[in-house]
A and B are shown apart, each in its own frame.
Chain A
């Protein structure tokens, strides 16, 4: 999963992010900061999480997050490309719908050279986005086979943190270890990173796999995710955006809210709703069904999120914050 953090200055005064299979923020609001983030979770074999951003104009913050771009193959790349173009309101005539082959066969690669090639292509694709600051986060197909070496070469560190407009962001890598562990070294880093923050600091965590045991039977968990959760519980305002499961999902562990959004490629079934975690069957009449991204509004407090799910099919459903809780 490749992530690109897109935090864009905006004229609005609300906070809004946009997330796909992980999260995205884009926002407007009165008397508030505007935050827009665009993470592309272009998982498997090339890119998964994308956050890319820029900040200007003092307190104003705008960003978008698009998750699960899934650059497994050329079709996936086009999907990301289309989404990137859509988000920039630019149609460069390269928009193609997800292909059946990509959907059903998930044309991923274990070839190192090909993985590098796709990562380079992904960087060219997202270069269209008008965002000067970009941050990325890997998925298991990007990093698990080589412990993140190729990813780091193209996109930098697989775990890191940064501050933006009063929010502390931490990116946790739970995919470079092929057994889906965060590892004690990274847990120690997270502790040292968060330790200086006051207990009420607004903290947003990006990670690929769910930190909690969503469906261990389907490998939808992080082996030592409980360690991260136990650590994060010491802060009151923590929101986690993750990918991996290619669908919208909301869950709370104590005070911590965990959100997954739809992906940009092959939707997966609801947890344990069928014997195997095979993708939702391809429907040629609705090639984009189940695909989408999320917009997130953040209020002035930086701790209240309103999530809005956007479908690539063109339908949008606004979820009142009350329907999914206040984060």
Chain B
């Protein structure tokens, strides 16, 4: 059963979804993001204004979180599962994201940024 959330923020319109990769629209760019203690790869995600993308998050070790407060995105990344987050950048700028599931010493450093360029 596919889980779907609509998030409409001032800077983005985003769809969060945990769903099979096959459900991702073929024409949209997919950016794979891995989470592991204590980093995201890539830690800097560059997007273009107005260009929809799908973030495809997986974890290499344990449960992590992925939160972009400014975009009202707050998801978990579970072992063995893929979390998809659809984002349509509506504003240029830099938006911080971080892990929200305490994962050990270094958890505070598990962060990154989404950079939206005009």
Contact = CB atoms under 8 A, between A and B. Distances in A.
Interface string A98-109: 000000001111
A140 interface: yes
Interface string B73-102: 000100000000000000000101010111
Nearest to B112: A276
A209 to B, nearest CB: 11
Give chain A's interface residue range (CB within 8 Å of chain B). Answer: 20 to 34
Contact of B104 (A110, A175, A179): A110
B105 A45 contact: yes
A314 interface: no
B111 interface: yes
Contacts of A109: 105
B24 to A, nearest CB: 26
Interface residue range, chain B: 20 to 34
A175 B107 CA distance: 13
B46 interface: no
A121 interface: no
B105 A179 contact: no
Contact of B105 (A110, A217, A223, A277): A110
B34 interface: no
A275 B102 contact: no
A10 B101 CA distance: 43
B69 A217 contact: yes
A218 interface: yes
Contact of B111 (A141, A179, A223, A276): A276
Interface in A90-120: 106-110
Contacts of B98: 217-219
A15 interface: no
Contacts of A180: 100, 102
B109 to A, nearest CB: 8
Interface in A22-61: 44-45
B111 to A, nearest CB: 6
Contacts of B101: 178-179
Contacts of B111: 276-277
A216 interface: yes
Contacts of B109: 276, 278
B108 interface: yes
B96 A179 contact: no
B100 A219 contact: yes
Contacts of A106: 105, 108
Contacts of B50: none
A223 B101 CA distance: 11
A217 B67 CA distance: 8
A178 B102 contact: yes
A74 B32 CA distance: 40
Contacts of A107: 105
A123 B108 CA distance: 26
A72 B108 CA distance: 14
Q: Give the top 9 A-B pairs by smallest Cβ distance, nearest first.
A: A108-B105, A144-B102, A216-B69, A178-B102, A110-B104, A217-B96, A217-B69, A178-B101, A140-B102
Interface of B: 65, 67, 69-70, 76, 94, 96, 98, 100-109, 111, 113
